[in-house]
């Protein structure tokens, strides 16, 4: 549980955002996870909802909102940028599908992918989340 004492509004809002990112939840769970009073947690969550950083379903469950994807689409990713120059050459040399993954704990996230024009294709879309326990990319 994160504690909020002595931190500013932005820090509290980020605490709410991180708590929901860990697992979607209702307001009571959000208060428990963050240590925020109910009114504060609700005010911050509604503010984040207005900016589409959180969304709430009919059952009152908060989850990450579409605004995060919009923001992330404008972020530079140095690994994906580096891969964009290497993957086409690797694909040409091997005549195989090639991907670059970023490790995230016990899983991997595809950040770049290139497919050969013909032959065997092992299509992995960018953004795919796969376990670190299986597949050649995990080795």
Between 120 and 89, residue with greater pLDDT: 89
Alpha-carbon distance of 115 to 88, in angstroms, equals: 9
What's the rounded mean pLDDT across residues 68-78? 83
Residues 68 and 41 in one domain: yes
The length of the chain, given as a count of residues: 139
What's the CA gap between 41 and 44, in Å, rounded?
A: 5
Q: Is 118 exposed, middle or buried (0-12, 13-18, 19+ CB in 10 A)?
A: exposed
Q: What's the confidence (pLDDT) of residue 105?
A: 86
Number of domains in the chain: 2
| Domain co-membership, 91 together with 64 | no
67 and 15, same domain (yes or no): yes
Same domain flag for 61 and 89: no
Q: Are residues 16 and 68 in the same domain?
A: yes
Q: Which of 104, 109, 102, 99 is nearest to 129 (CA)?
A: 109
pLDDT, mean over the chain: 88
Token duo for residue 130: 């796969």
**For residue 2, is pLDDT > 60?**
no
Tell me which of 72, 88, 118 is where a domain ends.
72
CA dihedral 124, 75, 41, 19 (to 10 degrees): 40
State the average pLDDT over residues 27-49.
97
What whole-number distance in Å separates Cα of residue 20 and Cα of residue 34? 10
38 pLDDT exceeds 90?
yes
* 108 within a domain of the structure (yes/no): yes
The pTM is what?
Answer: 0.58
113 and 92 in a common domain: yes
Distance CA 22, CA 24 (A): 7
- pLDDT bin (cut points 50, 70, 90) of residue 11 is very high
At residue 116 the predicted structure's pLDDT band, cuts being 50, 70 and 90, is confident
Calpha distance 139→103 (Å, rounded):
11
More confident residue, 119 or 68: 68
Q: What percent of the chain has pLDDT over 70?
A: 94
Q: Find the domain containing 85 and state its range.
A: 78-138
Which residue, among 135, 134, 132, has the nearest Cα to 106 in the 3D structure? 132
* pLDDT above 60 for 3: no
């Amino acid at each position: 549980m994160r504690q909020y004492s002595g931190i500013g509004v932005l820090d509290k809002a980020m605490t709410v955002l991180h708590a929901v990112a860990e697992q979607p939840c209702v307001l009571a769970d959000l208060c428990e996870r963050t240590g925020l009073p109910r009114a504060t947690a609700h005010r911050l969550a509604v503010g984040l909802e207005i900016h589409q950083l959180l969304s709430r379903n009919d059952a009152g469950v908060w989850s990450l909102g579409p605004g995060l994807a919009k923001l992330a689409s404008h972020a530079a990713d140095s690994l994906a940028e580096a891969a964009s120059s290497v993957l086409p050459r690797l694909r040409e040399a091997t005549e195989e599908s090639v991907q670059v993954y970023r490790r995230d704990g016990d899983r991997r996230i595809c950040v770049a992918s290139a497919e050969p024009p013909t032959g065997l294709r092992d299509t992995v879309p960018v953004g795919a989340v796969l376990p670190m326990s299986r597949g050649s990319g995990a080795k």
